[in-house]
Structure 1
Amino acid sequence: MTTRTRATRGPRTPVQQAVVLVGLVFLLVGVLGFIPGVTTDYDSMKFASHDSGAELLGIFQISVLHNLVHLAIGVAGLVMARTASSARTYLLVGGAVYLILWLYGLLVGHHSSANFVPLNTADDWLHFALGIGMIALGTLLTRRSARTGLGR
């Protein structure tokens, strides 16, 4: 008779807990983007175009692609929360991507065909806050473990 034991996992580090929360929020935002009422002008949503008139909460311009990206980022967060080092990487790389997306949104005209995600001014500044916030979490929540060699 063979006995199987399950590998026990230790408690999640603060950075892993943060990434689970961030991932769940992105999943929630991705799902909410597909719900009429939560998303205003839902019937004008395009797959990927600056012409998409749908707005999450009546503020953030979205499209089907935008919602799918939120869902993918959420799933990536939950997967990368498995280890402290991958959770940190998720926050730092994700934060950098959001800062690049912020710059992209500022430099590309909101009515340009290059604005395929689509992005509006509210999206731009949310991306800035997300970028700074994710980088701050990735840095601050791993400072102690990086110094002591814990959480790897």
Structure 2
Amino acid sequence: MTLPPAHARARRNPAEGRAPVRRAAFAVAVVFLIIGLLGFVPGVTSDFADLRIAGHQSGARLFGVLQVSVLHNLVHLVFGVAGLTLSRTVTAARTYLVGGGAIYLVLWLYGLAVDHGSAANVLPVNAADDWLHLGFGAGMVALGAATARRPRR
């Protein structure tokens, strides 16, 4: 077996040959990691001094709009790490996208059902979060379905 020249190997795209569902899961995971980290950055998160561990009393807003807490940011970071881990195989990547998307759709329904000013709003979420969760959930499920491998004929 002969290897291509060193300069050809150095330019190889690491995503080359990776199944689309794996690339999609990896990209979604990176987005979750970025969002989770930005929730801890003063300036990107307004009213940072009002950041609470959990609960509706957290007055911190990611990009000045999305209500966040330490717990909310940690959920995003956990979803990101899970996505990086699960993007290693086609089956796990699809499970991450579809299953994670379903979880975010349930979180959207939770946000619609819970009184945003009540103690039951532990993450916390607001109306902007609700719509973002709907978008993430639907987008992840759609990516999982759209990037599924079709049987070859």
TM over 0.5: yes
User: Which structure 2 residue ranges, 5 or more long, are not aligned?
Assistant: 1-15
Q: Which residue of 2 aligns with 1:3?
A: none
The yes-or-no answer on 1:53 pairing with 2:59 is: yes
Aligned with residue 148 of structure 1, among 144, 149, 152: 152
Q: Which residue of 1 aligns with 2:90?
A: 84
Q: CA RMSD in A?
A: 1.5
Q: Which residue of 2 aligns with 1:44?
A: 50
Deviation track 1:40-65 (CA, whole Å, cap 9, x = no partner) reads 00000100010100000001000000
CA offset at residue 12 of structure 1? 1.0
Aligned with residue 112 of structure 1, among 118, 136, 151: 118
CA offset at residue 147 of structure 1? 2.5
In structure 1, distance between residues paired with 2:99 and 2:112: 20
> Which amino acid counterpart does residue 103 of structure 1 have in structure 2?
L
> Which amino acid counterpart does residue 108 of structure 1 have in structure 2?
V
The yes-or-no answer on 1:22 pairing with 2:28 is: yes
In structure 2, distance between residues paired with 1:116 and 1:106: 14
> Which amino acid counterpart does residue 18 of structure 1 have in structure 2?
A
In structure 2, distance between residues paired with 1:31 and 1:148: 41
Q: Which runs of 4+ in 1 moved over 3 A?
A: none
TM-score (norm 2): 0.88
TM-score (norm 1): 0.88
In structure 2, distance between residues paired with 1:24 and 1:130: 13
> Which amino acid counterpart does residue 62 of structure 1 have in structure 2?
V
Identity %: 55
CA offset at residue 146 of structure 1? 4.0
Q: Which residue of 1 aligns with 2:6?
A: none
The yes-or-no answer on 1:124 pairing with 2:130 is: yes
In structure 1, distance between residues paired with 2:28 and 2:138: 14
> Which amino acid counterpart does residue 115 of structure 1 have in structure 2?
N
In structure 2, distance between residues paired with 1:102 and 1:29: 17
